[in-house]
């Protein structure tokens, strides 16, 4: 099997699986209980909380566990806007955000907020200057992802934050770092954001666990009312096994410098081999995160190619796994023609991917192009 759909989800690493099993069998207490089993569960949660805080360069009490980044994005965006109406009613975000950001902003817009969606440049990135220019004295929140989930384009979050804070120091800034965390250095101290979200299953932790960073002093309204877990920010009994699994995956995050060097080499190797096929368009820019390579196989529908590859146990995607096969708005906004978006494939690597994987993919695509009837003009 060749698995190259790691932006959709990753296989849990052995350390994550081991930690989950240990928590299920031995550390199954409710962390809110006052007896020793509850205390041990709470200790495990706080151990992982500190480990994550160290990686993000923040305080442990600024980390909150949630079920996924969709919940985290909803909490940060809705919570900030609803609690801080005095700061204004305008929200600025990019037009290429994950649906959990875009649709949350659109819902708030339907309820009376003003929203501005800043389009990307032809290379898939959003200009920091254009993004900051959309912010005014009535902007309560600005949200910019760190890495785009379809193309791997790295957004200028740090630069945008600097420009925005000089323009309106009260504007709260949120960052969806789902496709970046665990694959490149992510420091909230360096970025300067007020809130940040991440998801465990994108870096070899289990599904069902994510986290939010909320800077101390930032006041947002929780989405869930209940028993007051996670310091009142996310009520509901914490899933100790999933949090433990997240901790296991954190322990196995590789050295960024050497891993990124290897992944850039792999991405460029795959790109060169793919271009040998002919009628291939590369949709990811050279500076994009090397874990993602978006291409168009001109003349062939994405779905047809996906099924051909699947029959050979080679797995890629036609775009965001969260958009269920819809035409890519990201690529359309990037300026691609319909024939190019209809034939787009997203190849997403992991730290375990190899040149052999790339060779098998290229060989299968060459066979597909020679056997399948052209269906996109």
Q: Which of 300, 297, 262 is nearest to 280 (CA)?
A: 297
**Residue 258 exposed, middle or buried by CB count within 10 Å (0-12, 13-18, 19+):** exposed
CB 15, CB 48: distance < 8 Å: no
Longest CA pairwise span in the chain (Å): 67
**Residue 53, CB-side half-sphere exposure with 13 Å CA sphere:** 17
Q: Which of 112, 120, 128 is nearest to 148 (CA)?
A: 120
Distinct helix (H) and strand (E) counts, the chain: 13, 12
Helix (H), strand (E), coil (C) string for 79-97: HHHHHCHHHCCEEEEECCC
Q: Cα(85)–Cα(92) distance, rounded to whole angstroms? A: 15
Active site residues: 322
List phi, psi (to 5°) of 41.
-65, -40
Q: Cα(337)–Cα(163) distance, rounded to whole angstroms? A: 33
CB 132, CB 274: distance < 8 Å: no
């Amino acid at each position: 099997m060749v698995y190259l759909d790691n932006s959709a989800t990753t296989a849990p690493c052995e350390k994550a699986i081991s930690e989950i099993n240990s928590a299920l069998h031995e550390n199954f207490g409710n962390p809110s209980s006052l007896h020793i089993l509850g205390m041990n569960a709470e200790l495990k949660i706080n151990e992982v909380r500190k480990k994550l805080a160290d990686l993000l360069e923040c305080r442990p009490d600024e980390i909150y566990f949630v079920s996924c980044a969709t919940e985290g994005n909803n909490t940060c965006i809705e919570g900030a806007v609803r609690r801080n109406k005095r700061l204004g009613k305008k929200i600025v975000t990019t037009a290429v955000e994950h649906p959990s950001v875009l649709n949350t902003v659109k819902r708030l817009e339907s309820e009376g907020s003003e929203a501005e969606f800043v389009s990307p440049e032809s290379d898939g990135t959003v200009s920091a200057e254009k993004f900051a220019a959309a912010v005014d004295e009535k902007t309560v929140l600005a949200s910019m992802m760190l890495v785009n989930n379809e193309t791997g384009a790295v957004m200028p979050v740090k630069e945008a934050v600097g420009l925005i804070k000089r323009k309106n120091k009260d504007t709260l800034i949120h960052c969806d770092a789902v496709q970046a965390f665990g694959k490149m250095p992510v420091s909230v101290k360096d970025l300067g954001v007020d809130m940040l979200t991440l998801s465990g299953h994108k870096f070899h932790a289990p599904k069902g666990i994510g986290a939010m960073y909320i800077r101390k002093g930032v006041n947002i309204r929780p989405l869930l009312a209940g028993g007051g877990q996670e310091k009142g920010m996310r009520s509901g009994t914490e899933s100790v096994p999933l949090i433990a699994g997240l901790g296991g995956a954190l322990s196995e995050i590789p050295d960024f410098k050497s891993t990124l060097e290897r992944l850039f080499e792999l991405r460029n190797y795959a790109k060169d081999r793919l271009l040998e096929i002919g009628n291939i368009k590369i949709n990811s820019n050279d500076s994009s995160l090397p874990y993602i390579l978006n291409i168009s196989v001109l003349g062939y529908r994405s779905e047809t190619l996906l099924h051909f590859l699947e029959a050979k146990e080679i797995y890629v995607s036609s775009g965001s796994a969260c958009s269920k096969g819809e035409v890519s708005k990201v690529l359309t906004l990037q300026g691609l023609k319909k024939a190019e978006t209809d034939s787009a494939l997203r190849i997403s690597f992991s730290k375990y991917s190899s040149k052999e994987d790339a060779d098998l993919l290229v060989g299968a695509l060459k066979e597909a192009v020679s056997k399948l009837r052209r269906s996109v003009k």
